[in-house]
């Protein structure tokens, strides 16, 4: 079984699980899964994951509401995950988690501490912050992007619940259907705000779930916006070429139709393996991993590039 590097692999520090339960659970409507080191290692062994880059998933430390509590929760989560990495260095790396990006100074301090002292492999950001549409191109986040850009950081972007939390129906919590569009919205915000090429061009930004709806809608935006008063500064190919700068993971997204659409947009060296453990049930992870192993039959791609070779280039310090 091929060795895989999993860039979309979650961890639930005890203090984070407790905070979610205390505040009413995940606002997306998803359940809070149980997580243990042993269950994590068992899943990794079952699907051939050599190393996982751990991340605290949405809604993140801001779930507690109070700014000072969120800052403390982010620090505690990072300390917990860094210790876990140190206890299993051959199995884990980790992405640093931050409080709300609207807490600029707190985020900058935690980036410095996490990157310089805890030696995180990168940073996880959520698709939006605050009570409104604070997507990642928001002008308030400019100091944070400039700091991450200065560090040439790897930034893993994970969707969080939309402002409108109304579900399609009771069978469809937001992660099942709405999350991909939240990823698409924040990605196109990074592009059209100018943030991607002007302020974080040296960051390596990974979009979850094959970029969500970005690959399927990028052609529409590219062929529409340049011919409107709002987008006269663009040529039709500009927006599509910027989308090629992103990295993309395959979590819950390795069916042939999704990957064919992705490879029409993505640089093939920018596609990375992801499992979405433990938020995805093990059976779903097995299902999508089995689909991925046969992708070379339908798409001109070496699956080992997706499994680990592309990630090794992105994270040259991984062993």
Per-residue confidence (pLDDT) for residue 1, from 0 to 100: 55
Per-residue confidence (pLDDT) for residue 235, from 0 to 100: 86
Per-residue confidence (pLDDT) for residue 318, from 0 to 100: 82
Divide the 319 residues of the chain into consecutive groups of 10 and give the mean pLDDT of each group. 90 97 92 96 98 98 92 98 98 98 98 99 98 96 98 98 92 94 98 95 99 97 94 89 98 97 97 99 98 90 96 90
Task: Locate the DSSP E strands across the chain.
Answer: 4-10, 49-55, 92-97, 122-126, 128-129, 134-135, 154-158, 204-207, 247-249, 271-272
Query: What burial class does residue 41 get, using C-beta atoms within 10 Å of its C-beta: 0-12 exposed, 13-18 middle, 19+ buried?
Result: middle
- Cis geometry, peptide bond prior to residue 147 (ω within 30 degrees of 0): no
Per-residue confidence (pLDDT) for residue 212, from 0 to 100: 98
Per-residue confidence (pLDDT) for residue 269, from 0 to 100: 98
Residues 6+ away with beta carbon under 8 Å from 102: 129, 130, 134, 140
Locus of tokens 């064919």 = 260
Could you give the 3-state DSSP secondary structure of residue 49? strand
Whether the CB-CB separation of 88 and 52 falls below 8 Å is answered with no
Per-residue confidence (pLDDT) for residue 130, from 0 to 100: 95
Tell me: domain 4-314, CATH 3.20.20.140, correct?
Answer: yes
CB neighbour burial string for 1-29, b if at least 16 within 10 angstroms, e if fewer: eeebbbbbbbbbbeebeebbeeeeebbbb
Structure tokens at 23: 């505040």
DSSP string for residues in 137-189: T-GGGHHHHHHHHHTT-EEEEE----SS---SSTT--HHHHTHHHHHHHHHHH
* pTM over cut 0.95: yes
d(C-alpha 302, C-alpha 289), whole Å: 15
Per-residue confidence (pLDDT) for residue 200, from 0 to 100: 96
């Amino acid at each position: 079984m091929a060795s895989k590097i999993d860039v979309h692999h979650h961890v639930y520090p005890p203090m984070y699980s407790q905070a979610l339960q205390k505040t009413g659970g995940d606002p997306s409507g998803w359940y809070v899964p149980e997580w243990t080191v042993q269950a994590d290692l068992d899943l990794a062994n079952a699907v051939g994951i050599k190393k996982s880059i751990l991340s605290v998933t949405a809604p993140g430390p801001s779930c507690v509401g109070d700014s000072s509590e969120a800052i403390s929760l982010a620090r505690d989560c990072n300390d917990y995950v860094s210790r876990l990495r140190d206890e299993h260095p051959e199995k884990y790396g980790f992405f640093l988690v931050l409080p709300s990006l609207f807490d600029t100074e707190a985020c900058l301090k935690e980036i410095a501490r996490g990157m310089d002292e805890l030696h995180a492999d990168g940073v996880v950001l959520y698709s939006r912050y605050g009570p409104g549409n604070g997507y990642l191109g928001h002008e308030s986040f400019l100091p944070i992007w400039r700091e991450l850009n200065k560090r040439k950081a790897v930034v893993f972007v994970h969707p969080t619940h939309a402002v409108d939390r109304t579900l399609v129906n009771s069978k469809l919590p937001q992660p099942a259907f709405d999350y991909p569009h939240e990823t698409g919205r924040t990605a196109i915000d990074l592009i059209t705000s100018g943030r991607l090429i002007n302020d974080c061009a040296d960051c390596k930004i990974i979009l979850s779930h094959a970029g969500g709806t970005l690959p399927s809608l990028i052609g529409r935006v590219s062929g529409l916006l340049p011919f409107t008063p709002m987008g006269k500064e663009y040529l039709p190919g500009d927006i599509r070429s910027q989308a090629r700068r992103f990295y993309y993971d395959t979590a819950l997204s390795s069916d042939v139709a999704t990957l064919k659409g992705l490879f029409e947009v993505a640089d093939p060296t920018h596609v990375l393996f992801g499992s979405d453990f433990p938020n995805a049930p093990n059976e779903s992870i097995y299902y999508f991993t089995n689909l991925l192993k046969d992708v070379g039959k339908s798409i001109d791609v070496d699956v080992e590039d997706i499994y680990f070779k592309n990630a090794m280039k992105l994270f040259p310090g991984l062993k």
